Amino acid sequence: MKNYDVVIIGSGPGGYVCAIRCAQLGMKTAIIEKYNTLGGTCLNVGCIPSKALLDSSEHFHNAKANFSDHGIGTGELALDFPKMIARKQSVVDQTCDGVKYLMDKNKIDVFQGTGSFESKDTVLVTSEAGTETLKAKNIVIATGSKPIELPFAKFDKERIISSTEALKLPELPKEMIVIGGGVIGLELGSVYARLGTSVEVIEYADSVLPTMDSAMGKELMRSMKKIGVKFHLSTKVSNVSREGDKVTVTATDKKGKELTWTTDICLVAVGRKPFTAGLAAEKAGVELDDRGRVAITDHFQTNVPNIYAIGDVVRGAMLAHKAEEEGTALAEQLAGQKPHVDYNLVPNIVYTWPEVAAVGKTEEQLKEAGVDYKTGQFPLRALGRSRASGDIEGVVKILADKKTDEVLGVHIVAARAADLIMEAVVAMEFRASAEDIARICHGHPTYSEAVKEAALAATDNRAMHI
């Protein structure tokens, strides 16, 4: 039996970052991972591989559709889809190897196998080599999430697939139905649409990106229609079946009309759920909530005092950077420090093109809460930098308190919105006003000027360039 100050079950962004910070703070730390590579969903079958394919597909789309506008001739364009998938895997491998390096650098013991509770302070690691027992003062559950499988659309991992399989298809499909107009469905749908697949998105809600500010979903949908994506909103899927190499999808629209599609691939992207299978949480007395998440306090503590949980397996948005912040905060808390995570300031990002990024409250949330607010907007097509690059689609929207001018929410559809949003996060962390952002000198020509202009628009409608 080996003894540790901290044992972490799961090596995703929450788990491995928590392990590094614990080690930095002088704790003897071990991490357990059931798969052969470290990094969890994010690095292996989530954030990193999807971004690699998003970038590759955008390069192909630009070469096909936009290079000629810049006076660049490409001749006969060819797509080597297997090579694109291989490049994606190379990016994943390098990134996972980087995490292994960080574990070695910080002298963190890595155990390959399934981690499960034997008691509140004992974890078993089960692998093909046998079982090893670890004893710990503190145990962290960071087991992440997995795709939700619909009862009428069981994954066969070939034609009816989750995001995991969508990242490693053996060949480019001619047609694809995407069930779910959220982040994952739109990102992966845009990848295949850019490469030439006929993509149709079916969404139960009356808008795509239903959890974000409604203006963002409308803006992105307009953009994605231009690359050929078709949308079916307020549509409920009732059955998905496969016969040979074809999949039939049946649904009902808002008027009660039955719709049927036949497609090569059906991607089910209706969200993810906490993963606790094999954890044996009951042996430690750890309670789960009614949604299968590990129940925690505001300090990540479960009902068992020395057992904690972070990331997708607990409440809140399922985001890698949210898990990282929780992992860091928990490690510092165990060391006696007083960290905090402001969940209102965790940015939400969609890596389509243009990208979508948001932080703080949506306009719908402010209306529901009865907050007296004002709005400032600036279209990207009015920006010099956007016209220079050809990325003119999108808008920056700033919501501020009508009395105090404090920025309450920022919502962006734009090229590099994922990077632009961090200006808003920093400003809101320091409780900046729209006037504060408007008074800051922004470089010209840059995309960030759109943020300044939106802030100007929110302060007495002072935008200069519209």
Catalytic positions: 444
CA distance 41 to 308: 20
CA distance 165 to 269: 11
The two structure tokens encoding residue 51: 């971004």
The two structure tokens encoding residue 184: 């994952």
191 three-state secondary structure: helix
- Please, are residues 16 and 38 in contact by the beta-carbon 8 Å criterion? yes
CA dihedral 253, 255, 259, 264 (to 10 degrees): -20
Q: Rounded to whole angstroms, what are the CA distances from 162 to 45, 177, 197, 420? A: 10, 12, 17, 30
Residues 277-315 as b or e (16 or more Cβ within 10 Å = b):
eebbbeebebebeeeebbbbeeebbbebeebbbbbbbbe
Residues 49-86 as b or e (16 or more Cβ within 10 Å = b):
bbebbbbbbbebbbeeeeeeeeeeeeeeeeeebeebbe
CA distance 177 to 90: 28
Phi, psi of 287 (to 5 degrees): -90, 145
The two structure tokens encoding residue 346: 């965790």
